[in-house]
Each structure stands twice: as C-alpha cells, then as structure tokens.
Amino acid sequence: MSYAWKDVTFKAVIEVITMTIDEAKQQLQMLKADYARVQGDLEKIESIGGNVRPVTRQLKQLEEEIQVARQTVNELEQ
C-alpha cells in the first residue's frame, strides 16, 4: 500500500522518528551489554592464561559498533 505525501500526517512522521530513535537507543544499550559481557569473558580467559586474541578482536569490533550506534542516536536526536 503506497501513500501520497499529502496522506502523511505530522503525527505519523513523529511516531516513525521516535520509533527509530528508540530502536537506535535500544541497539546501543544491547551493544553496551554485550561489551560488558565480553569484557568479563576476557578477564576470565586472562585469569586462566588462555588465548585472549579472539576476545580482544571481538571487543574491538563491539567498540566500533558502539561508536556507530552512538553517532546514529546523536544524529537522530538532532
């Protein structure tokens, strides 16, 4: 079903924007929680003398994803 722009209400636009901001914030929180979990895993692996390289790579990837998610939230809130 397609709509002409004249059919789009201001309220509908605000709902979509808000939903998007909320989703972006939720994604950021999930990434932060994953980071904390993986960081705990890293500490456990270090304590037993295990190979931390894969976990360190995972933390680096999560840091990059968090940075992108944070930037997205900031842009959407403007």
Residues 11-58: tens digit of each pLDDT: 666 666 776 888 889 999 999 999 999 999 999 999 999 999 999 999
Closest CA to 77 of 33, 28, 17: 17
Task: Tell the burial category of 72 from Cβ atoms under 10 Å away from its Cβ (0-12, 13-18, 19+).
Answer: middle
pTM exceeds cut of 0.85: no
Which amino acid does the sequence have at 43? Answer: E
